[in-house]
């Protein structure tokens, strides 16, 4: 896409949202990892796993997880930087199922649904970056089609995040809405899209009424997750597919692990709508629970087949509204708004599969 465009040719919007990815500041728990008898979720029998990913800054990255050699290799295609890092699979404790990486005596975690998707923070460029990716594939146009709730990350402190909804149709058309956090539509767009004939991860778009052709790199886990890369220093975004039928809490129960800049935590979603959480802060383990997880309703800021809501009583009253966009049985993206820091997000991956 062009340097001032969002997905499918949308020009950058001022949504009064400021990038912030942290929810808590965590410390490390080095006693919960062991290299023996690893817990490997479904799909882990594929020892060498390739992922196409994007970093929050907008770099395109290739990542390989080698289960035989216990290494993670990365190739920042944008900058040319490469690296290989050993990992240890965590077999107990808060981050059970994650891959622990130690760089300069600091812990990082790679969260993985093997041969499907990854989420991590790694120094793949000049700074520690959030990286999200999906398994490498040779896409067809149909892989890009679907209905997606998306969240866009702007890479610079003074830029503004955005979220919204887009339909991508198999007739070469698309439409999208951008919202503010209250769910009010601040931009609507329709246009044409097509896939590059040589590189099927390159998407071209043209909004109606313009002659501007946007270009972006799009990595897709069909009907689940898509990652769009806006280009160097232009950020990236995550789109989660909306299922055809409304989800229930029973569809999303399970244990999830999450990692933020400098820390980590876990969430267990129970069938009664209770979320049990554990997280580390200043070297101390904290446990708590949220008791009001529910499906969203038309009265909420957003309401789709895979959106949920709960109140975060651990946070100040002005930022307790949390919206959760689910990939049922796989992952979730939690979004809430701090009037002082802007929109905050956290991505978690389910591990008890």
- For residue 25, pLDDT over 80 is answered with no
The residue to which tokens 């997000």 are assigned: 345
* Closest among 258, 301, 294, 58 to 164, alpha carbons compared: 301
> What is the tens place of the pLDDT at every residue in 174-210?
999 999 888 899 999 999 999 999 999 999 999 999 9
**pLDDT for position 234:** 85
Please identify, in words, the CATH class of the domain defined by 30-135.
mainly beta
Measured in degrees and rounded to the nearest 5, phi and psi for residue 112 equal -140, 135
Please identify, in words, the CATH class of the domain defined by 249-350.
mainly beta
- For residue 128, pLDDT over 90 is answered with no
Section 207-226 average pLDDT: 94
CA distances to 28, 249, 253, 269 from 273, rounded to whole Å, are 29, 7, 9, 7
CATH 2.40.128.20 in the chain: give the residue spans: 249-350
Cβ-based neighbours of 274, under 8 Å, separated by 6 or more: 289, 290, 291, 293
| Banded model confidence at residue 130, pLDDT cuts 50, 70, 90 | confident
| Banded model confidence at residue 125, pLDDT cuts 50, 70, 90 | low
**pLDDT for position 5:** 43
**pLDDT for position 112:** 94
CATH 2.40.160 in the chain: give the residue spans: 30-135
Rounded to whole angstroms, the Cα distance separating 302 from 297 reads 8
Find which of 78-82, 218-222, 257-261, 328-332 is predicted with most confidence, using mean pLDDT: 218-222
| Banded model confidence at residue 29, pLDDT cuts 50, 70, 90 | very low
């Amino acid at each position: 896409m062009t340097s001032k465009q969002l997905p499918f040719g949308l020009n950058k919007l001022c949504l009064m949202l400021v990038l912030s990815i942290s929810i808590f500041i965590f410390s490390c728990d080095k006693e919960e990892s062991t290299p023996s008898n690893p817990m490997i979720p479904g799909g882990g029998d594929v020892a060498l796993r390739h992922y196409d990913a994007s970093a929050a800054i907008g770099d395109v990255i290739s990542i390989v997880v080698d289960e035989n050699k216990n290494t993670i290799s990365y190739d920042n295609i944008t900058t040319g930087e490469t690296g290989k890092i050993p990992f240890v699979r965590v077999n107990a404790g808060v981050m059970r199922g994650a891959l622990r990486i130690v760089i300069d005596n600091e812990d990082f975690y790679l969260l993985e649904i093997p041969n499907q998707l990854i989420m991590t923070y790694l120094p793949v460029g000049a700074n520690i970056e959030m990286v999200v990716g999906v398994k490498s594939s040779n896409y067809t146009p149909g892989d890009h089609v679907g209905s997606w709730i998306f969240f866009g990350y702007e890479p610079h402190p003074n830029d503004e995040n955005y979220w919204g909804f887009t339909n991508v149709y198999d007739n070469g058309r698309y439409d999208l809405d951008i919202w503010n956090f209250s769910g009010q539509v601040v931009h609507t767009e329709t246009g044409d899209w097509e896939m590059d004939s040589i590189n099927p991860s390159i998407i071209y778009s043209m909004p109606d009424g313009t002659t501007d052709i946007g270009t972006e790199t799009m990595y897709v886990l069909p009907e689940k997750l898509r990652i769009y890369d806006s280009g160097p220093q232009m950020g990236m975004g995550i789109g989660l597919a909306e299922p055809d039928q409304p989800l229930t809490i029973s569809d999303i129960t399970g244990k999830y692990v999450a990692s933020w800049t400098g820390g980590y935590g876990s969430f267990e979603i129970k069938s009664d709508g209770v979320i049990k959480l554990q997280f580390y802060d200043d070297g101390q383990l904290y446990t708590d629970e949220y008791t009001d997880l529910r499906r969203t309703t038309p009265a909420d800021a957003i309401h789709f087949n895979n959106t949920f809501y709960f109140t975060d009583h651990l946070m100040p009253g002005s930022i307790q509204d949390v919206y959760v966009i689910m990939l049922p049985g796989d992952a979730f993206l939690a979004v809430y708004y701090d009037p002082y820091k802007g929109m905050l997000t956290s991505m978690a991956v389910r591990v008890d599969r």
